[in-house]
A = this chain, B = another copy of it.
Amino acid sequence: MTRQEPADTPLGDAFHLYDTTLRDGAQREGISYSVQDKLAVARLLDELGVGFIEGGWPGALPKDTEFFARAAKGELQLKHAALVAFGATRKAGTTAEADPQVQALLDSEAPVVTLVAKSDLRHIERALRVDVDEACAMVKDTVEFLTKEGRRVFLDAEHFFDGYAYSPETSLRILDAAAHAGADVLVLCDTNGGQLPLGLAETVRTIKEKTGFRLGIHCQDDTSCAVANSVAAVQAGVTHVQCTANGYGERAGNADLFAVTGNLVTKLGLDVLPTGGAAELTRVSHALAEIANIAPYTHQAYVGASAFAHKAGLHASAIKVDPLLYNHIDPSSVGNDMRVLVTEMAGRASLELKGRELGVDLAGRPEALTSAITKVKRLESEGWSFEAADASLELLLRQEADVPAEAPFELESYRVVLDHRADAEVVAEATVKVHVGGQRVIATAEGIGPVHALDAALRKALSPHLSWLDSVELADYKVRILQGHPGTDAVTRVLVQSTDGEREWTTVGVHGNIVEASWLALCDALVHKSTTVAPGLRSGPGAPPPGTPGSPAADVD
């Protein structure tokens, strides 16, 4: 993993789309990535095609150190992006070599390092408590040390805009020290996020003219202008833009990678992503929201579910004639869809399309399509969501198209008992009674929690009868308590991602009781798997006669 430039993007190294979700984005209140999450985030960003992925601050945070170690061991194979480690310049009064945090940057084996340096005189004097000479030496020494070790170095000039307004000489001296020591890009940071685009563009132009350095931009969203400031900076001459997925970040957040990219690609005509990358913006945005466990923001520019949703009324008929008169871009160019609310037109088309995608042909069956739309609408109003649960949607469409999936088993009942015992031990035990392969089977198992126990009991009951069951594993399990129902009696939505080692599929369950919601999603997962297995292989030796009742998930209808 020694790439130091973006690969396979039309603009190559001439333009840097730089993502810092894993470091600055993780500063958002409520986000806490595990190392596993961080690897998943990096893979998605790389699929999208960003040029640089800042993975974290090795040496400062144990999880970040581990992330880089696992990346170096081969767990992260990046196709497009170069991996970046973030860190500070050496401490005052020491050398770069002797500073353990600088050493940790080397140890991370990241080919690119972004160093943060204070560039506001007030911060240098009051927070660092050194003079400007020493602040410059700290920058120079650290950049030189890392470039000599073969690293490509970018400099984040912290508080640049506020600092430049207060003491331009100081801020310029810091940029000079970094550039002359070998830093490749000088990133002007609006750390407190107080800038507005016209003034910021003016400053960027001035710095560019004065220094001739390659400049970058890093904006926080405290004036709600981070995206606008980033784009204005590009128009003023920067060729390196730092963003975070969905604008995650401290306080009001950072510049949103998806809106910035949408603007660069569709408004400025800059090919900052690999060919086809822009059409992935919506998917990747939503997937990254899932990993952060934050509901995707429906009204997000470009990628939000409502970004191209028009309320029926004044413009509805004109939109049908010429959609581009009422959309600033073609939604499909960023992987999004136009929706006309209340009228069913868009819903029909997209559900028909979805059916085709899932192998359920509804094109010639208008009444089945209408019934499917009605059902999806009703279920979504009750809290179901099929956006991320293709497998559950497929089962629903099959049922409406009169080709229902055959359930491999039937539930009679289950019971889960949870004990917090007097000796403080917590135990969970589940019993299921099911009909499978023509037999009635009762099985009991223990688990760490109620859903784990239930899953274990079900597997125990089914395993002797379903030869394919052992290949199916739970890959992920997500719970969302739906708003508008305060307190613990709220409606719970569970998403279960399953894998058989080759494919992954996601199913959904909704119920007031979290265990029942989980059960519904677990059952759908097995029914879905069963439809992909050749009929003769669906059950073990005791396969039931044809005509076995439908999926247990049908209960929810």
Residues of A participating in the B interface, judged by any CB pair closer than 8 Å: 27-30, 32-37, 40, 61-62, 88, 122-123, 126-127, 159, 192-194, 196-198, 201, 221-225, 227-229, 231-232, 235, 247, 250-253, 256, 259, 262-263, 267, 291, 293, 295, 297-302, 304, 306-312, 314-315, 317-318, 321-322, 325-329, 341, 343-345, 380-381, 385, 387-388, 411-422, 424, 426, 428, 433, 447-452, 455, 473-484, 486-490, 492, 511-516, 518-519, 555
Contact = CB atoms under 8 A, between A and B. Distances in A.
B516 A426 contact: yes
A199 to B, nearest CB: 8
Contacts of A231: 196-197, 223, 225
Nearest to A385: B32
B487 A450 contact: no
B555 A341 contact: no
A301 B27 contact: no
B253 A515 contact: no
A332 to B, nearest CB: 15
A483 B476 contact: yes
22 contacts: A27-B311, A29-B388, A34-B484, A192-B328, A222-B301, A222-B302, A223-B263, A224-B227, A224-B300, A225-B225, A250-B309, A252-B306, A295-B483, A413-B421, A414-B419, A449-B513, A449-B516, A450-B513, A452-B512, A455-B487, A477-B486, A488-B518
Nearest 10 pairs between A and B by C-beta?
A194-B328, A228-B228, A34-B484, A224-B259, A449-B513, A224-B301, A448-B512, A474-B487, A127-B318, A224-B227
A97 to B, nearest CB: 22
Given A122-B325, A514-B450, A484 B36 contact: yes
Nearest to A482: B34
A451 B489 CA distance: 8
A301 B413 contact: no
A520 to B, nearest CB: 10
A518 to B, nearest CB: 7
A126 B29 contact: no
Given A197-B232, A415-B417, A477-B490, A298 B223 contact: no
Contact of A511 (B35, B411, B426): B426
B476 A479 contact: no
A341 B31 CA distance: 12
A450 B447 contact: no
A267 B345 contact: no
A205 B349 CA distance: 38
